[in-house]
Amino acid sequence: MRKDDDTDAAEMLYTAGFVDVETFDDESYPGLGIHEMGTARMGRNPKTSVLNQWNQVWDAPNVFVTDGACMTSAGCQNPSLTYMALTARAADYAVSEMKKMNL
């Protein structure tokens, strides 16, 4: 399919008037260049979300999800710093709750 994409793209460029079009295949496969997100929505209600405001699973209080699963959508920016911030925040909360013997 990638080779067909290359051929079709080159054909469109030639048709548009471009010359000396060269295609290339960097062998990038689906899933390698994206940041998959979703599936464990953060929210205020356990009926409509999987995680509370601390990234804590409503039905399993000793489980925290701090990757992109809590995000319902993604921009074009790399979300790694956001993941790190969510993790630091959740860890701080978890430590606080453990000290209070709530976890």
- Residues annotated as catalytic are 35
Phi and psi for 10 in degrees, rounded to 5? Answer: -65, -40
Decide: 56 and 90 in contact? Cβ < 8 Å. yes
Q: ∠ CA(42), CA(48), CA(50), 5° rounding?
A: 45
